[in-house]
Amino acid sequence: MYTIFDLNMTKKINFTSLALKQIEKITKDGKNKKYFRITVQGGGCSGFKYKFSFDDKRDKNDLIFENVLIDASSLEVINGSTIDYKSEMIGNSFVINNPKASSSCGCGLSFSL
């Protein structure tokens, strides 16, 4: 488990070694995939949903954790979370274990606070 802090050392996100290896593999191989972006958006069946994407540029309100980008408002919601990468029979995916989530949808991407 690796913990990455923001510049003020007040917010943190934990990454499993599997998640970091997968992020590094994808960002290293892709032309327009310099950064792995984590975003929290309104929507989904529980009120909020996680969005994982790749980007080649950083926005001015992004916080950077090595090669991971998170906007400031998303970081507020996922502060203290653990990012993992799971390989299952139905496929491979990034998963967030968010201690602030009071409930989540069966898909694992939608949650409520």
User: What fold, for 2-112?
Assistant: Hypothetical Protein Aq_1857; Chain: A; (2.60.300)
Pairing state of beta strands 47-55 and 110-112?
antiparallel
For the stretch 70-109, pLDDT in tens is 998 898 888 999 999 998 888 888 988 888 887 776 665 6
The pTM of this model reads: 0.80
What average pLDDT does range 52-60 have in this prediction?
88
What are the residue boundaries of the structural domains of the chain, listed by start? 2-112
